A and B are shown apart, each in its own frame.
Chain A
């Protein structure tokens, strides 16, 4: 519970600053700090258990079928990261209170920040890997909002987009990797996965899974060659940079390395991929950092370099290296957050971040200068500061690896060189900014110290750097031990956290790096000149170019596929269906199944023959619409007969009545359509169409034959057995419709009603030209009410209504029911329209059709809801036998009420459709029929 609350608090708390955004900057900041402060307090209350080495796992199932659970985990590693996220988050909130201008939307800034914080906490506290991934994607999305906070600036928008594209793309790779791991292990729970390291490494999928996970890690943690997004993310407000690039966003990647270490490490794949990537990033970042003139650019590249260092440590694949990596994560978070904040203060007070113009600030802001100098020294790895301790451990570990064989010296050599560059750029941060003459052309002159409280977060962080650096054993030891233990899944190696380890090789490397750094910095002028001469590689331009090329390719592809011709789409679709089905059916060994064949009887064969022939003729005569329509109606009748022949009387009745209304519908439509369809297909296209039609037809025939000659397992015996005892009806088809699968039927009559309403809406305001002559030039008959039809129709109406009542009532036990009765009623009423015209019939219509259809759906729904009154599930039916005087024994079921709803909907919808289309063909202007 506490765990879930720690994650939920920032999400909920994100609303508070928005609500109080008009109450002044301090109020908003305090409101924003509420949730993380509570979260921090909750986290601390778990401290004892975590330091005792306990792993707390809590949560509930969500979608257990997919392995997705809402399970959370708190162990040393999660505790450390949650502490950094919440602690530094609080400091950033305080800092941002003074950093943001009064005119900027503070509420929104803090809301984004808290969203991001919640997402980060989710990543580090998830037990389920899929859940972790969801939070991971949330960090990408919310960091997009934060980096692009100054949305009026194009560099901020581009930077945000770049970060989202790179980290989001990595997230997809990570998803694939995690799914593979889940596949191998059979679970997405971390505790299972971490214990299954051997199983994962033995799997053939291991290299693929590892590469995919590492892609996610390397993009998020800005490892070479994906590092380019990070410097561009510096377009964000400095509090965001201080937060995202010290303790959170970019640390999510290395967090995964620490998290998955027991599951994925300990292989040559891991060593080469992780350590070499880390090594390259370490060096590239350190060298490029020196050449940045932008204060934040220098810090950005140094962040990349330090992330490379941490990655390299994990890659070295020894337990001590993991301890060092976790230690450096903590140290880097503290000194880099304070440095970003110091850079923000300088930017804020001078109006510039260009180190070529910011010089000699020592005189103007000595307090800030001291803080920045201490933090820079920590970054450089100067003794008695925290950075020195982890750097010493790092140097020691680089010496121990041996997998590179006779090139083992490469890693320590490169590490020392990168260390020297780190000293050089740290020195530049100190010397260039605070000394080195006088400021040149500052936008704000003279600069002065910032607001008192703006320095407090920096002071706290710098104090921590010092404290850890001087007294590591008393301050950080237990936290580090807890975090490293859980990263290593329980086994902690021997190590000592002391400042002085004696005269050894790592110390010599440190000294070499310090001296080398001084030397490099002394040579900076010729180095800068050399760097200026290099061809410029602008990541932004390259990124844009890549995006443009991608767009061009996809555009070309879309243009090729999407020509706007529906016929072409249809042909492509059918062609693909043909291919896929052929592919799917090709393993079929024999076409004929094991069922005994039915004997051929002449009448059925004749019926089927007529059906096939009329279908063919419909296609042949399709250019003469009326003829084709008449032939089509024969096919429909034969279909009804086929249903009757093969024991489906309900279907035969339904098909027959639907056939009537369909043909009337098509006749109505034909009134407006050209009677002749022009011949416009080229012979090649006719050939293509014939080929497709023949192909699909053949496939369907083969498929049908293969299926109906094979025996099968049906769930129908259940319905047959329970129809009478459970549903109270002997017509199983009807009982299925109104009882067993009543919910489906409810959906279906709703669709029917919706279609009717849609048609009503489509016809609204429609004006169509009324042709005065038919396709052959003959005028339409003016006798709109043929006498014989009129008299017959009137005589038929009561009989037809009687029959439909009969069909309705017997439907539960014999073929019939609401659908068929409704259609029969509809046909009878339509006949009145045909015989007497819309206006005459309309005037005698007792009930509006849309009311009828709506009432039908309502009655069916209420019948279903009625069963709730009796404490039964939706649509439970009840039935009983009653004795009614004169009529006698009768069975009544609630399903009948439901069927009444079906009946009303069918009548209402059918008539609404036909009478409205009929209305269009009558007189203008269009009048709506209700």
Chain B
């Protein structure tokens, strides 16, 4: 199971990386979103994986590691704020330069 999880994370990362290497803004934003999924899962996995052990006192015999969960929870919300900021920055750049190329100008100009 661990191997499968690791490979999945690898695929998420690879897809994200491929997308952020693209020239247009929207694929880059998609890539960032994929990367943040991967990063959040990665941080979460640092507390190791186990089923049925939520970190709620009294609900189970053992507890999962609550610390990575707390970290990731805020990371998800901040990730949304960051994505929104990037999107708006991209919109602003689209409005100012008239192109959605990441360099702010069409290639060859």
Q: Bound state CA distance, A815 and B56, in angstroms?
A: 8
The reply to whether B100 and A732 form a contact with Cβ atoms under 8 Å apart is no
How many A-B pairs fall under 8 Å by CB?
307
Q: Bound state CA distance, A647 and B61, in angstroms?
A: 13
Q: Bound state CA distance, A599 and B31, in angstroms?
A: 31
Chain A residues, CB < 8 A from B17: 574, 689, 692-693, 696-697
Most-contacted residue by chain B among A609, A622, A715, A737 (CB, 10 A): A622
Within 8 Å by CB of A708, from B5, B22, B82, lies B5
Q: Bound state CA distance, A814 and B55, in angstroms?
A: 9
The reply to whether A751 and B81 form a contact with Cβ atoms under 8 Å apart is yes
Chain A residues, CB < 8 A from B11: 612, 615-616, 697, 701
Q: Does A632 have its Cβ within 8 Å of any Cβ on chain B? A: yes
Q: Does A756 have its Cβ within 8 Å of any Cβ on chain B? A: yes
Residues of B in contact, count (CB < 8 Å): 85
The reply to whether B76 and A651 form a contact with Cβ atoms under 8 Å apart is yes
Q: Bound state CA distance, A565 and B105, in angstroms?
A: 10
The distance from the CB of B58 to the nearest CB of chain A, in whole angstroms, is 6
* B-contact 0/1 string along A839-858, CB 8 Å cutoff: 00000000000000000000
The reply to whether A665 and B87 form a contact with Cβ atoms under 8 Å apart is yes
Q: Bound state CA distance, A608 and B2, in angstroms?
A: 11
Q: Bound state CA distance, A853 and B87, in angstroms?
A: 20
Chain B residues, CB < 8 A from A619: 15, 18-19, 31, 34
**Docked complex: B9-42 residues within 8 A CB-CB of A:** 9-27, 29-31, 33-34, 37-38, 40-42
* B-contact 0/1 string along A689-726, CB 8 Å cutoff: 11011101110111011011100101110011001100
Chain B residues, CB < 8 A from A597: 1-2
Q: Does A40 have its Cβ within 8 Å of any Cβ on chain B? A: no
Within 8 Å by CB of A724, from B57, B74, B95, lies B57
The reply to whether A714 and B65 form a contact with Cβ atoms under 8 Å apart is yes
The distance from the CB of B66 to the nearest CB of chain A, in whole angstroms, is 4
- Residue in chain B with minimal CB distance to A759: B88
Within 8 Å by CB of A763, from B80, B88, B103, lies B88
Q: Bound state CA distance, A755 and B84, in angstroms?
A: 8
**Docked complex: A714-757 residues within 8 A CB-CB of B:** 714-716, 719-720, 723-724, 730-733, 736-737, 741, 744-745, 748, 751-752, 755-756
The reply to whether B1 and A598 form a contact with Cβ atoms under 8 Å apart is yes
**Docked complex: B40-56 residues within 8 A CB-CB of A:** 40-42, 44-56
Chain B residues, CB < 8 A from A704: 5-6, 9-10, 42, 45
Q: Bound state CA distance, A595 and B16, in angstroms?
A: 30
Q: Does A571 have its Cβ within 8 Å of any Cβ on chain B? A: yes
The distance from the CB of B93 to the nearest CB of chain A, in whole angstroms, is 10
* B-contact 0/1 string along A620-660, CB 8 Å cutoff: 00110100110010011001001101111111001100100
Given contacts A567-B23, A677-B26, A700-B10, whether A666 and B34 have CB atoms under 8 Å apart is no
Q: Bound state CA distance, A628 and B22, in angstroms?
A: 14
The reply to whether A635 and B76 form a contact with Cβ atoms under 8 Å apart is no
Within 8 Å by CB of B9, from A601, A678, A701, A716, lies A701
Chain B residues, CB < 8 A from A759: 84-85, 88
Chain A residues, CB < 8 A from B12: 611-612, 615, 635, 697
Within 8 Å by CB of B67, from A705, A719, A745, lies A719
Which of the candidate stretches A200-208, A451-459, A905-913 sits at the interface with the other chain?
A: A905-913
The reply to whether A669 and B29 form a contact with Cβ atoms under 8 Å apart is yes
- Residue in chain B with minimal CB distance to A599: B1
- Residue in chain A with minimal CB distance to B57: A730
The reply to whether A677 and B27 form a contact with Cβ atoms under 8 Å apart is yes
Chain A residues, CB < 8 A from B4: 600, 604-605, 608
Q: Bound state CA distance, A658 and B76, in angstroms?
A: 7
Q: Does A681 have its Cβ within 8 Å of any Cβ on chain B? A: yes
Q: Does A767 have its Cβ within 8 Å of any Cβ on chain B? A: yes
The reply to whether B6 and A701 form a contact with Cβ atoms under 8 Å apart is yes
Q: Bound state CA distance, A669 and B90, in angstroms?
A: 9
Q: Bound state CA distance, A609 and B8, in angstroms?
A: 7
The reply to whether A654 and B73 form a contact with Cβ atoms under 8 Å apart is yes
- Residue in chain A with minimal CB distance to B92: A762
Most-contacted residue by chain B among A601, A714, A910 (CB, 10 A): A714
Given contacts A733-B69, A763-B88, A767-B95, whether A708 and B6 have CB atoms under 8 Å apart is yes
Given contacts A701-B9, A910-B80, whether A707 and B30 have CB atoms under 8 Å apart is no
Given contacts A693-B18, A732-B66, A766-B91, whether A913 and B24 have CB atoms under 8 Å apart is no
The reply to whether B90 and A702 form a contact with Cβ atoms under 8 Å apart is no
The reply to whether A646 and B1 form a contact with Cβ atoms under 8 Å apart is no
Q: Does A661 have its Cβ within 8 Å of any Cβ on chain B? A: yes
The reply to whether B92 and A615 form a contact with Cβ atoms under 8 Å apart is no
The distance from the CB of B48 to the nearest CB of chain A, in whole angstroms, is 6
The reply to whether B14 and A643 form a contact with Cβ atoms under 8 Å apart is no
Chain A residues, CB < 8 A from B20: 570
* B-contact 0/1 string along A569-596, CB 8 Å cutoff: 0110010000000000000000000010
Chain A residues, CB < 8 A from B30: 618, 622, 628-629, 632, 666
Q: Does A566 have its Cβ within 8 Å of any Cβ on chain B? A: yes
Q: Does A768 have its Cβ within 8 Å of any Cβ on chain B? A: yes
Q: Bound state CA distance, A736 and B65, in angstroms?
A: 11
The reply to whether B6 and A669 form a contact with Cβ atoms under 8 Å apart is no
Q: Does A819 have its Cβ within 8 Å of any Cβ on chain B? A: yes
The reply to whether A647 and B1 form a contact with Cβ atoms under 8 Å apart is no
- Residue in chain A with minimal CB distance to B46: A707
The reply to whether A730 and B58 form a contact with Cβ atoms under 8 Å apart is yes
- Residue in chain B with minimal CB distance to A714: B65
The distance from the CB of B22 to the nearest CB of chain A, in whole angstroms, is 7
Given contacts A622-B22, A669-B90, A720-B57, whether A906 and B77 have CB atoms under 8 Å apart is yes
Given contacts A571-B21, A670-B26, A689-B21, whether A731 and B76 have CB atoms under 8 Å apart is no
Q: Bound state CA distance, A202 and B50, in angstroms?
A: 56
The distance from the CB of A672 to the nearest CB of chain B, in whole angstroms, is 6
**Docked complex: B78-109 residues within 8 A CB-CB of A:** 78-85, 87-92, 94-95, 100, 102-103, 107
Q: Bound state CA distance, A712 and B45, in angstroms?
A: 12
Q: Does A522 have its Cβ within 8 Å of any Cβ on chain B? A: no
Within 8 Å by CB of A752, from B51, B77, B103, lies B77
Given contacts A654-B73, A708-B2, A715-B67, whether A677 and B15 have CB atoms under 8 Å apart is no
Chain B residues, CB < 8 A from A719: 66-67
Within 8 Å by CB of A673, from B7, B25, B33, B88, lies B25
Q: Bound state CA distance, A622 and B19, in angstroms?
A: 8
Q: Bound state CA distance, A438 and B22, in angstroms?
A: 82
Q: Bound state CA distance, A759 and B76, in angstroms?
A: 18
Q: Does A443 have its Cβ within 8 Å of any Cβ on chain B? A: no
- Residue in chain A with minimal CB distance to B63: A720
Q: Bound state CA distance, A520 and B99, in angstroms?
A: 79
The reply to whether B100 and A673 form a contact with Cβ atoms under 8 Å apart is yes
Q: Does A920 have its Cβ within 8 Å of any Cβ on chain B? A: yes
The reply to whether A632 and B48 form a contact with Cβ atoms under 8 Å apart is no
Q: Bound state CA distance, A914 and B5, in angstroms?
A: 33
The reply to whether B21 and A708 form a contact with Cβ atoms under 8 Å apart is no
Additional A-B contact list (15), CB under 8 Å, known A609-B8, A672-B91, A697-B10: A567-B23, A604-B4, A623-B27, A648-B44, A669-B91, A692-B21, A733-B69, A752-B77, A759-B88, A766-B91, A815-B56, A819-B77, A823-B77, A913-B84, A917-B88
Using a CB–CB cutoff of 8 Å, the interface residues on chain A facing chain B are: 564-567, 570-571, 574, 595, 597-601, 604-605, 608-609, 611-612, 615-616, 618-619, 622-623, 625, 628-629, 632, 635-636, 639, 642-643, 645-651, 654-655, 658, 661-662, 665-666, 669-670, 672-674, 677-678, 680-681, 689-690, 692-694, 696-698, 700-702, 704-705, 707-709, 712, 714-716, 719-720, 723-724, 730-733, 736-737, 741, 744-745, 748, 751-752, 755-756, 758-759, 762-763, 766-768, 813-815, 819, 823, 906, 909-910, 913-914, 917, 920
**7 closest A-B pairs by CB:** A697-B14, A701-B10, A705-B6, A693-B18, A755-B81, A730-B57, A732-B66
21 residue pairs from A and B, CB less than 8 Å apart: A600-B1, A612-B8, A619-B34, A646-B64, A647-B52, A658-B79, A669-B90, A673-B26, A681-B22, A697-B15, A697-B17, A700-B13, A700-B42, A716-B47, A730-B59, A733-B73, A744-B74, A751-B78, A756-B81, A815-B54, A819-B73
